[in-house]
Chains A and B, each alone.
Chain A
């Protein structure tokens, strides 16, 4: 057993604990330790990705208990990819949190951040269904704290809704796990896959109920219509860097769908069809709802949140095919949409910081650094809308290609293409209102000045109190760092575009490994002490 497999869970847990116990009054120490921890986490994730790239499935038996009685952590290519993606996003967005001064708006930002990373990493690694529930709870508890970071009436109200919906989701998760345990008698995912495959076809009513319940839970996490209602106000009211980190949280739901419905309930099992039949229409409606939201949004925070919903829609359309090329396309799109959504949230937070926390798409005086932010916004909008030359275009092309064989392909293609137009119009409108209209105001000012009339409303000076609910440019410790971290996410998108070939090669090998479940099951159940040969 390679003990580095558990490091992504243990490392943030230790750092988070240290931050709370020893350095809760010293923000500088917290920043140093937390950044070092995230950097080390990224290092471990990269090492594990290299380690898993051999194609073998590695098992880590906690306490060396034999499976299926003990809990196992599993490292395969998919888990390794998600680890790297999560650790990269965590580090970059954390730098933004430091640079923008968000981390001093309230208590325990860095400790919660580390616990959040612990939950996310654990959810990607675990090979036990109940343990997945526990890691979901860990990441949710930390996300509750992060979501209301900084306080404020609206944010707390949105936080209550977020917590209530997720608690109902957790209740549903327990119900699903209870049902599956009652039928299969195991909670180990590999063992459950074996038991499900052996089940007689006419005795599976409960099993199907459990499988569908479980999908509903993951759909809540991934924010699929009609279970998406928590997302817009949560993301729009959360602090900018937290909303950007949440881009990986909805992907945890998608990851769990991919993991469960390729391993435990594969296409040829008794649950065949039900889940895919439900996922495809839901995903199509999710895409439409999201892009219409982008088109109609009057607030940039909402527009960004709706575009996150739309990207989940596109992603799940590919997932619902459950074929090898489709899953490969979905994984490529996962990397792209996580980075693009996070970049968009960071950029809209930069704009909010320069407009006194005001993200309504109405005419305001020209913001500070307008040119640079406008070009960042332009790049992120291109990526999110899926226009060439960035990776969103390649991702959408792959999804279209993978759905070509589906009997519904006409509907899928037209939905994806028409809604892309919605997104383009929505983002063009948002961008021109935010960055071009202010020039009109400037011109009006100049004319008024020449005629000797009093000038129209002057720019609002930024407030400087560190204890207010919104974060503005006066609080930013280092505006340069905020640009660097948003730029790093965009650079990730450019790299994903330039190296689309190798990236696709990697996602292809991940998808191939996912559909070949025998080595996964064998590595857990057979290759252990005292197992039947």
Chain B
């Protein structure tokens, strides 16, 4: 199971990294979502991989801790999912705005940023 999860994280990060390095905003946004999926999976895995173990205590008295899995990474993942979801919405809106204002969806700065009045050097 470790190998499977590791390969999944690695493949998703590689795909995400490749897409983030593209020139246009749409693949970049998709790439960032891929990266955040990979990292969320990685965060879950930091609490050790376990099957059929609940993260929340139930019952009273003596507790067998080996029957439970670490709840903290799951809470962290939840926070990370919420944040990355919001961030994706922000970056989608921003890149839409840049597309509508600038006329194209390239991610690098246009000529006008480098030379006075956007003239070619």
Give A residues with C-beta under 8 Å from B: 130, 134, 137, 141, 144, 148, 151-154, 156-161, 163-164, 167-168, 170-171, 174-175, 177-179, 181-182, 187, 233, 236-237, 298-299, 360, 362
In the complex, the 3 A-B pairs of residues with the closest C-beta atoms, listed nearest first: A156-B98, A182-B46, A153-B102
Contact between A152 and B101 (Cβ–Cβ < 8 Å)? yes
Residues of B within 8 A of A182 (CB): 46-47
B12 to chain A, nearest CB (A): 11
B 60-101 contacts with A by CB, 8 A: 72-73, 76, 79-80, 83-84, 86-87, 90-91, 94-95, 97-98, 101
Partner among A156, A170, A299 whose Cβ is within 8 Å of the Cβ of B94: A156
Q: Kindly list chain B residues whose C-beta atoms are within 8 Å of the C-beta of A137.
A: 83, 87
Report which residue of A141, A151, A174 has the largest number of chain B beta carbons within 10 angstroms of its beta carbon: A174
Residues of B within 8 A of A187 (CB): 72
Residue with the greatest number of chain B CB neighbours at <10 A, chosen from A153, A159, A160, A236: A160
Residues of A within 8 A of B76 (CB): 130, 174, 177-178, 181
Specify which chain A residues have a CB less than 8 angstroms from the CB of B79 in the assembled complex: 130, 134
Asked if B101 and A158 sit within 8 Å, CB to CB, the answer is: no
- Count the A-B residue pairs with Cβ separation under 8 angstroms: how many? 106
With A178-B43, A236-B113 known, 16 other A-B pairs at CB within 8 A are A137-B87, A144-B90, A151-B97, A153-B110, A153-B112, A157-B107, A158-B113, A160-B98, A163-B94, A164-B107, A174-B76, A177-B76, A178-B39, A178-B73, A298-B116, A360-B116
Q: CB distance B39 to A175 under 8 Å?
A: yes
Contact: A181 with B46, CB < 8 Å? yes
Q: How far is the CB of B62 from chain A (nearest CB, A)?
A: 20
Chain B residues in contact with chain A, CB under 8 A? Answer: 20, 25, 28, 32, 35-36, 39, 42-43, 45-47, 72-73, 76, 79-80, 83-84, 86-87, 90-91, 94-95, 97-98, 101-103, 107-110, 112-113, 116
Q: B36 — nearest CB in chain A belongs to which residue?
A: A171
Is B101 in contact with A163, judged by CB distance below 8 angstroms? no
- Distance in angstroms between the alpha carbons of A187 and B112 in the assembled complex: 45
Contact yes or no, B110 A181, CB < 8 A: no
Chain B residues near A144 (CB, 8 Å)?
A: 90, 94
Which single residue of chain A is at the shortest CB-CB distance from B97? A156
- Please tell me if the beta carbons of B109 and A233 are within 8 angstroms of each other in the complex: yes
Nearest chain B residue, comparing its CB with the CB of A175: B39
In the assembled complex, the Cα of A181 lies from the Cα of B75 at a distance in Å of 13
Bound-complex Cα distance A170 to B36 (A):
9
Question: Contact: B98 with A163, CB < 8 Å?
Answer: no
Would you give the shortest CB distance from A16 to chain B, in whole angstroms? 16
Q: How far is the CA of A141 from the CA of B91 in the complex (A)?
A: 10
Closest residue of chain B to A177 (Cβ to Cβ) is: B76
Whether the Cβ atoms of A160 and B72 lie closer than 8 Å is no
Given A167-B32, A178-B43, A179-B46, A157 contacting B102 (CB threshold 8 A): yes
Chain A positions within 8 Å of B108 at CB level: 161
Q: Which residues from chain B contact A160 at a C-beta distance below 8 Å? A: 25, 91, 94-95, 98, 107
A161 close to B36 (CB less than 8 A): no
Please list 21 pairs of residues, one from A and one from B, whose beta carbons are closer than 8 Å in the complex, sorted by A's number.
A141-B87, A141-B90, A144-B94, A148-B94, A152-B101, A154-B102, A156-B101, A157-B107, A159-B94, A161-B109, A167-B36, A167-B91, A171-B32, A174-B39, A174-B43, A175-B42, A178-B39, A178-B42, A181-B76, A233-B113, A236-B113
Q: A214 → chain B, closest Cβ, in Å?
A: 14
- In the assembled complex, the Cα of A229 lies from the Cα of B110 at a distance in Å of 15
Closest residue of A by beta carbon distance from B88: A167
Is B116's CB under 8 angstroms from A181's CB?
Answer: no
Given contacts A141-B86, A163-B90, contact A158 B46 (CB under 8 A): no
- Residue from the list A134, A159, A171, A362 in contact with B98, Cβ < 8 A: A159
Q: Are B39 and A163 in contact (CB under 8 A)?
A: no
Chain A residues with CB under 8 A of B35: 168, 171
* A360 CB → nearest B CB, Å: 5
Contacts of A177 in B (CB 8 A): 76
Q: A130-B76, A174-B43 are in contact. Are A154 and B110 (CB under 8 A)?
A: yes
Cα A299 to Cα B102 with chains together (Å): 21
A182 to B44, CA, bound (A): 10
Query: A158 and B109: CB pair below 8 A?
Result: yes
Residues of chain B within 8 A of A154, CB atoms compared: 102, 109-110, 112-113
Q: Which residues of B contact A130 (CB under 8 A)?
A: 76, 79
Q: How far is the CA of A303 from the CA of B111 in the complex (A)?
A: 18
**Chain A residues with CB below 8 A from B83, complex form:** 134, 137, 170
* A137 to B83 alpha-carbon distance, docked (Å): 8
Which residue among A170, A171, A237 has the maximum number of chain B CB atoms within 10 Å of its CB? A171
* Distance between Cα atoms of A237 and B112 in the complex (Å): 12
Knowing A178-B46, A181-B46 are in contact, say whether A237-B113 is a contact too (CB < 8 A). Answer: yes
A151 to B100, CA, bound (A): 11
Chain B residue nearest to A469 (CB atoms) is B101
Q: How far is the CB of A298 from chain B (nearest CB, A)?
A: 7
